Amino acid sequence: MLTRFDIKEIVYGNLNLPVIDVRTPAEFEKGHIPGAVNIPLFTNEERAHVGTVYKQQSKEKAIELGYKYVNPKLNDYIEQSKKAAPKKKAIVHCWRGGMRSQSFADHLNKNGFNTGIIEGGYKAFRRVVLDDFPDNLNLKVLGGYTGSGKTPVLLKMKEQGHQVLDLEGIANHKGSAFGSIGCKPQPTPEQFENNLFWEFKELDCSKPIWLEDESSNIGHVAIQRKLFLQMREANLFFLDIPKEQRAKHLIDDYDVEHLEPLANAINRISKRLGGEKTKKALEYLENHDFFNVAILCLDYYDKYYYKGMMKRDSEKIIIVKHQSVDLDKIIKSLV
């Protein structure tokens, strides 16, 4: 008899067992439980073929085809599972806790493992992600024009023991046309939600949580609506730092060795930057005059950010003035 775990035991409990996701690589890539290991029962193509046979012929024929695909890989499943769960204890799941996870877990248990399955599978996890996102958070939002060092400030605050949620780090994007430069590929929108929820569940939501001011989208992922609405209602600590100092900080922050990604980003904002400024920015870039490239781009981003800030309640905007991007001084003034 397989042990069946409620999803909340996995999310909020202290089981500390490896989680094996037996769905296809495509399903796993779209979204998975953070930390889970993918050992697919079927490849993407095999899963599609089994599904077609199920619809066009019968359940029995689909199961028969499934065994033909699975049987040659039984030993490999054991070897991969040993790597994922060296102590031979694990939790297995598929989409709904059905035949895929039950068959896989039975196979492991017959080969010396102690394995259970998640009741409701990954679908149950997604329900928790969407339903359990916390309300009434004690948020402190750090804002400021582009180049103010908001992310480095937050990361250093986290090192010092403050509760910090690094939205751009979770999104693998710096939140502008230049935001993907130097970053790993972004997660899918669904996986971003999963990762964001997973970070939040480790925080004490009654205590202050610092995070960066963002628009509703960071690259191609969207901030969970319940969180975004709370961010818009929270106090905004706005870093007011001279443009020249911010331009210098941007040069240090971005990879200026490779010009093509920078040129592509400038071209993406060309309509709003204007033809003449775009042309100048590209000329400065070609001449490796990164300071003036930054100054021109900041003209656009400062106006864009100011417009967004004006939509906030002015009584909730706290201006924090500094003459340079000095992380220690900024943090001291914030806390």
pLDDT tens, 25-76?
A: 999 999 999 999 999 999 999 999 999 999 999 999 999 999 999 999 999 9
CA–CA separation, 259 vs 202, rounded Å? 40
Give 259's pLDDT tier (boundaries 50, 70, 90): confident
pLDDT at res. 306: 84
Decide which of 2.60.40, 3.40.1010, 3.30.2390, 3.40.50 is the CATH code for 139-334. 3.40.50
Please indicate whether the domains covering 3-130 and 139-334 agree at the CATH topology level.
no
**237 with 143: CB under 8 angstroms?**
yes
Q: In terms of pTM, does the model score above 0.85?
A: yes
In whole numbers, what is the pLDDT of the chain averaged over residues?
91
* Mean pLDDT of all residues in 149-172: 94
Residue in 94, 183, 205, 297 annotated catalytic: 94
What are the domain boundaries of the chain?
3-130, 139-334
* Catalytic residue status for 297: no
pLDDT of residue 309 exceeding 80:
yes
pLDDT at res. 165: 95
pLDDT tens, 72-109?
A: 999 999 999 999 999 999 999 999 999 999 999 999 99
3-130 topology per CATH:
Oxidized Rhodanese; domain 1 (3.40.250)
